[in-house]
Amino acid sequence: MKKHILLLSLFFISNLAYSQSYKDWEEYDVDSFYKKVDLKYGTLDEDGDEIDNIYVPTEIKEGVYEVEISDETGDLFLIEGTEYYLEFTLYYGYASYDEGILEVNSYGGTFYKKDSY
């Protein structure tokens, strides 16, 4: 429960301008959400290589959030200001720092990339 309250407080900002126009922006389906878990020093993967962390599937409370995302590792994108990551259903491309609206529902979600006029 605490993580849901923290999540809401971190990236829920009411913005009427977005709520009226973001549906016209480029949209990308979100397949999964993850949380990064740091591991003890000396943890090894199946090949015997040291690893610092893993990403475990997690859920985010359904809702509409104003977010900023950036590339993390592989196909994962960090939701800035949180400990959560997302993975798109199809190729998203490079996101050095993209702003937009994230709609979360029971099966994943949709990220609407803010137009960069």
Q: Residue 116 has what DSSP assignment?
A: -
C-beta atoms surrounding 21 within 10 Å: 13
pLDDT band at 116 (very low <50, low <70, confident <90, very high): low
pLDDT in tens, 68-103: 999 887 889 999 999 999 999 887 776 678 899 999
Domain total in the chain: 1
Q: Is residue 58 part of a domain?
A: yes
Q: Is residue 38 part of a domain?
A: yes
- Does any domain span residue 19? no
Whether residue 8 lies inside any domain: the answer is: yes
Q: Is residue 20 part of a domain?
A: no
Nearest to 28 by CA among 77, 63, 62, 73: 77
What residues contact residue 34 under an 8 Å CB cut-off, 6+ apart? 55, 56, 57, 58, 76, 84, 85, 86, 87
Q: Is residue 106 part of a domain?
A: yes
Looking at the chain, the whole-number percentage of residues with pLDDT higher than 70 is: 79
- The band of 57, judged by pLDDT with boundaries at 50, 70 and 90, is very high
Q: Is 18 within the bounds of a domain? A: no
Residues of the domain holding 42: 2-13+25-113
Instruction: Give the global pTM.
Output: 0.73
In a domain, 107, yes or no: yes
